[in-house]
Amino acid sequence: MNKGDLVNKIAEKTGLSKAQSTDALNAVVDSIADALKEGDKVTLIGFGTFSVSLRQERTGRNPQTNASITIPAKVSAKFKPGKELSDAVDSDALKSKLAK
């Protein structure tokens, strides 16, 4: 599912127009991004939690030359699914579909 598909689902389920659904989705995504930029956590009960974490500078290895390289520190976004979401996707039907 891509953003356009998600906009269509939102419009279908809420009765909003596609333009309104796009605005609503953009507002949610922008609000989550703004909170993460501030270092805040965003928790949607039952769905999951968005947060940021600092990955420290570390030493890596270039696989082509085998030379040591320094990988710089980086702040990255994380998502931890909530229990309801985890339970919803943990179905036998999905397991068999993914096993193919």
Segment 58-74, tens digit of pLDDT:
999 999 999 999 999 99
Taking residues 47-64, report their average pLDDT: 95
41-100 belongs to which CATH class?
A: few secondary structures
Map tokens 């703004």 to a residue: 34
Q: Minimal CA–CA distance to 39: which of 54, 56, 58?
A: 54
pLDDT digits (tens, 9 = 90+) for 13-37: 999 999 999 999 999 999 999 999 9
Structure tokens, 72:
């710089």
pTM of the model: 0.80
Are 73 and 57 in contact, with CB atoms under 8 Å apart?
Answer: yes
Does an H or E element contain 60, and which? strand 58-61
Taking residues 37-45, report their average pLDDT: 96
